Amino acid sequence: MPTLSESAIADLLGPYLPEMPPLLASQLSVYLDLLLKWNARTNLTAIRSPEEIVRRHFGESLFAGRHLDLHTTTLLDFGSGAGFPGLPIALLRPDIQVTLAESQNKKATFLREVVRTLNLRTEVWPNRVEAMPADRQFHTVTVRAVDDIHTALPAARSRIAAGGQLALLTTTPNAPPDGNSISLPNSQSAVLYLETIP
């Protein structure tokens, strides 16, 4: 039996995603159960409450997915961790070819398990982004909860194709001044920062 019902997941996600696409709640339920199972033995997220995981991880990721450029065809999730925001975006926008970059082996193994279980066409890059071929670029690069944002941002921007987009989930004080910051629901300081790369 799932940890949270599909209707409970949809209710929790209402502020982030007012219209729930068909099948998304059931896919997120499977993802949540996998995350909780793996998190019991591998530290994937410090958040333990299923409701908070749905709000903070799924909700914020789906909010970012709603605001991506409609012409996005490829996306790199830089330092994906437990798959946020890349996996929820892949579920919301199956038209986007998502690549999850995660250098920690246990987390990359978890990501492969979620991709396999949900039958996604998502690539897991089990290495640092800097190890990708130099010419590999993406329309959109997402960054969330990386260890060193000041080092990550130049590396992330270097992977964005001309006319592409940087999507950064951060807080108001850490948002760069150049782009557009959109306040996240249910937060006083969290923002989705979007920047178009010329």
pLDDT at 68 (0 to 100): 96
1 is a domain residue: no
Predicted confidence (pLDDT) at residue 177 exceeds the cutoff of 90: no
pLDDT digit string, tens, across residues 78-97 = 999 999 999 999 999 999 99
Say which CATH number the domain at 57 has: 3.40.50.150
11 is a domain residue: yes
The answer to pTM > 0.85 is yes
Average pLDDT score, the chain: 93
pLDDT at 149 (0 to 100): 76
Residue type, 82: A
With CA atoms as reference, report the closest residue to 43 among 79, 71, 100, 81: 81
pLDDT at 78 (0 to 100): 95
105 is a domain residue: yes
For 51, the enclosing helix (H) or strand (E) is helix 50-52
With CA atoms as reference, report the closest residue to 182 among 81, 67, 25: 67
Provide mean pLDDT across the span 167-188. Answer: 90
151 is a domain residue: yes
The number of folded domains in the chain is 1
pLDDT at 126 (0 to 100): 97
Distance, CA of 135 to CA of 58 (rounded, Å): 31
Distance, CA of 63 to CA of 60 (rounded, Å): 5
75 is a domain residue: yes
pLDDT at 3 (0 to 100): 84
Instruction: Give the contacts of 35 (CB within 8 A, at least 6 positions apart).
Output: 44, 45, 53, 82, 110, 114
Which of 49-53, 118-122, 148-152 is modeled with the greatest confidence?
118-122
Handedness of CA 109, 111, 115, 121 (dihedral sign): negative
Q: Which domain holds residue 87?
A: 6-196
pLDDT at 116 (0 to 100): 98
